[in-house]
Amino acid sequence: MSLQEILEFRRSVRYFDEAKELDTDKVRRCIELATLAPNSSNMQLWEFYHITDPEMMKKISHACLDQKATKTAKQIVVFVTRRDLHRKRSRAILEFEKGNIARYSPPERQEKRWKDRLMYYNRLMPFIYSRFFWILGLFRKILATSISLFRPMVTTISESDMRVVVHKTCGLAAQTFMLAMAEIGYDTCPLEGFDSRRVKRLLKLPCSAEINMIIPCGIRKGTLGIWGERFRVPFEEVYKKV
């Protein structure tokens, strides 16, 4: 399908055909494609839990208020944010960048680029993502706001701001996953109605992890599960040319 066809095909399907199975490997490949989604500073502070076990499916569905989308789904993918992994991800990026710079940067620019990467991922990212009872976030906010009085400066760097960043990033991955699923004729339904505390307990997630989105997967049963035609606010109402 073309991109337009994929976008037109994708709907939030709330009732799946229970007689039609999904190829687990194909769903796994769509999750893999989701990792290609753009994300802030390439930190990839996410994890994807691919639920295929029938008993776990029932438990996850119950935590999702036993909605039809989860009760009839063949598989479920849980998108999780992991701000707490920022140091691990930074180290992985730096390890990769050693070879990346050596292979693709002109010799005369390699040293500077490596110093820039070290400054960014060894110092700036830990500074931006570190948390300590909101105190570090408040300090960053005050510092950035003070600098912004004299020159343009990113000021949305409190702990709550960074929480928004990782959720936006994870949301991009979830959308990429849904489009990849649509391309192979599989259906999805992004859910935000769930008991995150119960889901975290089921998946044995640490306190610092957060559930971004739960996406039940299956194949639509005719027009069941799709609430008629798709409504969108008139484009002229949301499009602003400056």
As a whole number of angstroms, the distance between CA 219 and CA 185 comes to 8
- Whether the CA torsion 104, 44, 78, 85 is positive or negative: it is positive
pLDDT in tens, 119-167: 999 999 999 999 988 899 999 999 999 999 999 999 999 999 999 999 9
As a whole number of angstroms, the distance between CA 42 and CA 37 comes to 10
State residue 225's pLDDT score: 83
CA 144-148-154 angle, 5° bins: 55
Question: Mean pLDDT throughout 212-222?
Answer: 95
Task: Looking at the structure, give the CATH architecture of the domain made up of residues 3-85+176-226.
Answer: 3-Layer(aba) Sandwich (3.40)
State residue 224's pLDDT score: 80
Question: Mean pLDDT throughout 45-55?
Answer: 98
pLDDT in tens, 6-43: 999 999 999 999 999 999 999 999 999 999 999 999 99
State residue 180's pLDDT score: 98
Strand 75-81 to 187-188 pairing = unpaired
As a whole number of angstroms, the distance between CA 238 and CA 242 comes to 13
Amino acid at position 214, single letter = I
As a whole number of angstroms, the distance between CA 74 and CA 16 comes to 8
Q: Where along the chain do its domains lie?
A: 3-85+176-226, 86-160
Q: Give me the DSSP letters along 11-50.
A: -B-SSB-TT----HHHHHHHHHHHTTS--GGG---EEEEE
pLDDT in tens, 221-234: 888 888 789 999 99
Question: For residues 181 and 30, is the Cβ–Cβ distance under 8 A?
Answer: yes
Does the structure show a pLDDT above 90 at 178?
yes
